[in-house]
């Protein structure tokens, strides 16, 4: 158990819908990262937040957005869902203390199925 929690574990929805994925980082970690993992693309970085502010952006679609709240939990919002958005969505957290090591700990993931 990494200490990172994600809800829900599974989500099944229809095209055109909107969903929200939730992540709670490890105690003490200020940084949250969102990744998408599909069979053909592998694990792809979407977006990072540090202490409530956006820090880095990867291959995140405009239909997707995220935020980090004062209690450091984060939410990833996916809207106008398409079949191709079906994937495993992972959240990871790290301390980001300025040390180069800065290991990321991954949550168990949310499996999103768009029908």
Residues that bind other proteins (CB under 8 A): 2, 4, 31, 33, 35, 41-45, 48, 50, 55-56, 58, 88, 90, 94, 96, 100-109
Asked if residues 69 and 53 have their Cβ atoms less than 8 Å apart, the reply is: no
Quote the least distance from Cβ 16 to other proteins, whole Å: 27
Quote the least distance from Cβ 56 to other proteins, whole Å: 3
Q: How many other CB atoms are there within 10 angstroms of residue 97's CB atom? A: 11
**Sign of torsion over alpha carbons 74, 76, 104, 108:** positive
Q: Which is nearer to other proteins, 18 or 57 (CB)?
A: 57
Q: Which is nearer to other proteins, 55 or 73 (CB)?
A: 55
Task: Specify the pairing of strand 10-13 against strand 110-114.
Answer: parallel
Q: Which is nearer to other proteins, 59 or 80 (CB)?
A: 59
Quote the least distance from Cβ 45 to other proteins, whole Å: 5
What is the arrangement of strands in the sheet containing 74-78, beginning at the earlier edge strand?
A: 5-7, 19-24, 74-78, 64-68
Q: Which is nearer to other proteins, 22 or 55 (CB)?
A: 55
Distance CA 60, CA 39 (A): 17
Quote the least distance from Cβ 106 to other proteins, whole Å: 4
């Amino acid at each position: 158990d990494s200490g990172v929690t994600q809800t829900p574990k599974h989500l099944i929805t229809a095209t055109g819908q909107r969903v929200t994925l939730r992540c709670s980082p490890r105690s003490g970690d200020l940084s949250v990262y969102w990744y998408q993992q599909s069979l053909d693309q592998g694990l792809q970085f979407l977006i990072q937040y540090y202490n409530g502010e956006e820090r880095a952006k990867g291959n995140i679609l405009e239909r997707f957005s995220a935020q980090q709240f004062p209690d450091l939990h984060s939410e990833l919002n996916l809207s106008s869902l398409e079949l191709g958005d079906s994937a495993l969505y992972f959240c990871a957290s790290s301390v980001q203390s300025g040390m180069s090591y800065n290991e990321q700990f991954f949550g168990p993931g949310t499996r999103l199925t768009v029908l």
